Amino acid sequence: MRFDVAVHAAGDGGYIASCDNPQCSSRGLSPSNALDSLREEIRYRLELCPCTSVGDSYVELDVVSGL
């Protein structure tokens, strides 16, 4: 499943990756750290219960704005 995301530099030297659907964001020390964290957050939100899991390759991020 593909998700459109934006990555922007934060004022503190870090980076913020955000997604509108599902609406969530994450921070990281680099753009790739922020994207990895956001991918994990989206996977967590897609899981129906703790007994199910969403595979690593299920969530694909398309950077549509930002860096």
Domains in the chain: boundaries? 2-66
Q: What is the DSSP letter of 36?
A: H
Here the tokens at position 27 are 């921070």
Architecture of domain 2-66: 2-Layer Sandwich (3.30)
Beta bridge partners of 9: 15
Q: How far apart are CA 52 and CA 63, in angstroms?
A: 27
Q: What is the DSSP letter of 65?
A: E
- pLDDT tens sequence for the chain (67 residues): 899 999 999 989 999 999 999 999 999 999 999 999 999 999 888 876 666 666 667 788 999 887 6
Count of Cβ atoms closer than 10 Å to residue 3 Cβ: 18
Q: What is the model's pTM?
A: 0.83
